[in-house]
């Protein structure tokens, strides 16, 4: 839908979505009236919290790269801090699962072992296995032993390590070394 909107309206729509924190009950009532006329009677909806930044990021993640960059740049021009927050939410650590094996291997070569040891403490086993399967058996075993020896780690430390790895992944993607997410569809 975003792609079908006029270019000058796209920024405004994404900016409004990203700034949305609470859904106004009056807006919901108006929507109810419109929907009721189309579908029938709906119950009154109380105000509810919405995750505007996450929703804007999800919308941009679903668009093609050209549109994504265009809207993100316009968003940053309107509100730099908000634009940066949306960009930060667009690519999260779990998205690394979309990397191909060659991309994983390239990323692993750039990551400090200590960062990887901490970052993998907070992921599901499937993503951790993707990292392990793209390492030599010996390196994977050493990493697993290091993770066990490390013991419990603060969530803030895990998030910081994951963020550092994401920065490295984004830098490699910007250099064309790896393909992140839908970017792989942009090449032939």
Give the model confidence (pLDDT) of 114-152 as tens digits. 999 999 997 889 999 999 999 999 999 999 999 999 889
Which pLDDT does position 135 carry in this prediction? 94
**Percentage of the chain lying above the pLDDT 90 cut:** 25
Alpha-carbon distance 135 to 137, whole Å? 6
More confident residue, 118 or 68: 118
Q: Are 2 and 57 in contact (CB under 8 A)?
A: no
Cα dist from 95 to 28, 31, 48, 134, 147, whole Å: 33, 34, 28, 16, 21
Q: What average pLDDT is seen over the chain? A: 83
Confidence of residue 1 (pLDDT cuts 50, 70, 90): confident
Give the model confidence (pLDDT) of 30-57 as tens digits. 877 777 776 665 566 666 777 888 888 8
Q: Is pLDDT of 23 > 80?
A: no
Q: Is pLDDT of 64 > 90?
A: no
């Amino acid at each position: 839908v975003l792609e079908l909107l006029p270019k000058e309206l796209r920024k405004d729509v994404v900016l409004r979505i990203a700034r949305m924190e609470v859904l106004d009950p009056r807006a919901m009532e108006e929507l109810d009236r419109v929907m009721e006329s189309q579908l029938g009677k709906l119950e009154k909806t109380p105000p509810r919290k919405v995750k505007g930044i996450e929703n804007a990021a999800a919308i941009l993640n679903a668009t093609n790269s050209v549109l994504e960059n265009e809207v993100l740049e316009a968003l940053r021009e309107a509100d730099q801090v908000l634009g940066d927050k949306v960009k930060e939410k667009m690519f999260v650590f779990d998205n690394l699962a979309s990397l191909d094996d060659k991309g994983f291997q390239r990323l692993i070569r750039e990551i400090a072992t200590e960062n990887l040891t901490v970052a993998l403490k907070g992921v599901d086993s499937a993503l951790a296995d993707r990292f392990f399967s793209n390492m030599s058996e010996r390196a994977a075993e050493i990493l697993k032993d290091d993770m066990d020896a490390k013991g419990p780690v603060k969530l803030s430390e895990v998030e910081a390590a994951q963020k550092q790895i994401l920065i490295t992944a984004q830098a490699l993607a910007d250099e064309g070394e790896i393909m992140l997410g839908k970017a792989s569809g942009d090449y032939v």
